[in-house]
Amino acid sequence: MTGDVFDIDDVAFSNIAPSREPCSSARCTIQPITSEEVTAFQAEAARLELHSDPKCRLLGATMRDQLPNVQIFDKAIVRYVGAYTFYGAGYSYQTNGEWRIGVARRFDDLNPRTVADETRTLRHEMAHTLGARERRTSAEWSARDFADRCE
Ligand SMILES: [Zn+2]
- CA 32 – ligand 1 centroid, Å: 23
Q: In Å, what is the CA distance from 132 to each residue of 31, 108, 127? A: 26, 27, 5
- Tell me how far apart the alpha carbons of residues 93 and 22 are, in angstroms, rounded to a whole number: 9
- CA 8 – ligand 1 centroid, Å: 6
Question: In a 3-state reduction of DSSP, which class is residue 138?
Answer: coil
**pLDDT, tens digit only, all 151 positions of the chain:** 444 444 445 544 444 445 667 887 778 899 999 999 999 999 999 999 999 999 999 999 999 999 999 999 999 888 777 777 778 888 888 888 899 999 999 988 888 999 999 999 999 999 999 999 888 888 899 998 999 999 9
- CA 12 – ligand 1 centroid, Å: 9
- Tell me how far apart the alpha carbons of residues 107 and 6 are, in angstroms, rounded to a whole number: 10
- CA 94 – ligand 1 centroid, Å: 14
- CA 110 – ligand 1 centroid, Å: 24
CB 7 within 8 A of CB 113: yes
- CA 52 – ligand 1 centroid, Å: 23
